[in-house]
Amino acid sequence: MEILGIDIGGSGIKGAPVDTEKGVFMEDRYRIPTPQPAKPEPVAEVVAKIAEFFDWKGPIGCTFPAVMKHGVAHSAANVDDDWIGTDAHRLFQRTTGCPVLVMNDADAAGIAEMRFGAGVGHEGIVIILTFGTGIGSAIFVEGTLMPNTELGHLEIRGKDGEDRAADSVRKAKDWSYKKWSKRVSEYLQHVEFLFSPDLIIFGGGVSKKHDKFFHRLETRARIVPAQLRNDAGIIGAALAARDLV
C-alpha cells in the first residue's frame, strides 16, 4: 500500500510516498523550508504544495511538533502559538483535498522505528527520543504507543530538558560532543529514573554521528541509534494513515 507521508519540522517540511509494507520511499523525498513565522495557513499551503508535487490524490499521514488529540493541536513548543486549538486535520484536508491523519512527530518516528527500525522485536518499555530543534519522545509498552508524552519538557534544574540537551543547543553554543554528552546523560538519567525503560532509541539527525558521543553517554538501559533517522517521521505518519484507506 502506498501512502504519502509528510513531516513538519521547525526548519523544513518534507514528504514522500511510502510503501507501507516495506517501510521505504517510493520516490525521492521533497522538502520545502518551513514558513517563518510558522502560522497555520502558510504551513498548510506548503503541505498542499508537497501533495501537488507528487500529484497526490489518496490518503496522507502528516506529523506535527505538538500534542495532537483527534487532529487538534494542544501545544506549540517550537511553532507559532496560533496553532494551539487549531484543527490541523481539517485544515490540511481542506488545502490538499485528501483524507489526512495528523499526529505528533515523535510518535510517528517511534511507530516507524518499532515497525522497521531499531525497535523491531523489542518488548517491555521502549523509549524513542529525537534530538533536534527540541527533544521529542515516544513511549511503547509491550509494543503499544502511549501518545503525546512530550518528555523534552521534563524539568532539569529549573529548565526544560530540551533547553539543556537538544541538538540545537549544542549547535547554538558551539559545544563539543564531549561537553554536550554530559547534558544528554543528565537528561537520559532523569528519563530513566521516571520510566525505567528496557531500551532507549536515540533519534534525530544527530544520531548518524553517534560514534562521536555514544561512548560518553551514561545510562542503565541499553541505548541504540535510530535506524531510520530523519526518514522515520515520514514513514511512521504513512503507517498510521493506513486506517484512512
Could you tell me if 141 and 179 lie in one domain? yes
Split at pLDDT 50, 70, 90, the class of 11 is confident
List the CATH number of the domain containing 86: 3.30.420.40
Overall number of domains in the chain = 2
Pick from 5-19, 44-58, 69-83, 117-131: least confident: 69-83
- Which residue range forms the structural domain that includes residue 180? 121-226
Look-up of cell digits 490540511: 92
Q: Residue 245: is its pLDDT beyond 70?
A: no
d(CA 241, CA 139): 19
pLDDT tens by residue, 184-234: 999 999 999 999 999 999 998 899 999 999 999 999 999 999 999 889 999
Burial of 142: CB neighbours in 10 Å, binned 0-12, 13-18, 19+: exposed
pLDDT tens by residue, 74-123: 998 778 899 999 999 999 999 999 999 999 999 999 999 999 999 999 98
pLDDT (average), residues 139-151: 96
Could you tell me if 65 and 35 lie in one domain? yes
Establish how many alpha carbons lie within 13 A of residue 74's alpha carbon, considering only the half-sphere containing its beta carbon. Answer: 11
Contact 244, 99 (CB under 8 A): yes
**Gap between the terminal Cα atoms of the chain:** 9
Entry field: residues in the chain? 245
